[in-house]
Amino acid sequence: MKKFTSVLLLVALTFQCLSTLAVLNWFEFNKEFIVKNLCENRFRPAMHCNGQCILMKKLKAMDTEKEHDKSTTDSKRTTSKVDIPLFVLAEDLIFHSLPNLQQELMTDINVLYVYQFSLIPFHPPKV
């Protein structure tokens, strides 16, 4: 099931990305028909349009469709700000309203970890 979903998603994304290429290919394969039957300037050969007007209309229609889809999805979205602390200070963990409980908690902790605090930053040994 996961494989089918991933393949379907991959195909959908590929078609979305290659839609402009598909329009360009359609234009190249049907260029003679477009020039003879669909071109707006087919009766004015001096303009040398060669069906470019139809191609531009198709590409512009695709762009406006994409912008319309984007604007509808943007209007449905709501944004909210979430603050996530990167670190928690030890002061935030202290119970300010219950000082007796704080003292009891601090006395019951067994300290099994020992370290030496040093203000000098670590440097590799000098040769």
Q: Which domain holds residue 35?
A: 2-76
28 inside domain: yes
Residue 25 has pLDDT above 70, yes or no: yes
pLDDT at residue 96, as a whole number: 54
pLDDT at residue 5, as a whole number: 92
Residue 119 has pLDDT above 80, yes or no: no
Instruction: Give the chain's domain count.
Output: 1
Q: Which residue has the higher pLDDT, 105 or 52?
A: 52
pTM value? Answer: 0.46
Within a 10 A sphere around the Cβ of 99, how many other Cβ atoms? 10
Q: Render pLDDT for 61-106 as a digit per residue (tens, 0 to 9).
A: 988 888 887 777 666 666 777 777 666 666 656 555 554 544 555 5
How far apart are alpha carbons 95 and 54 in whole angstroms? Answer: 73
102 inside domain: no
16 inside domain: yes
70 inside domain: yes
Token pair 């099994």: residue: 112
Buried b (16+ CB within 10 A) or exposed e, 36-62: eeebebbeeeeeebbbbbbbeebeeee
89 inside domain: no
117 inside domain: no
* Average confidence (pLDDT) over 48-69: 86
How far apart are alpha carbons 53 and 47 in whole angstroms? Answer: 11
10 inside domain: yes
94 inside domain: no
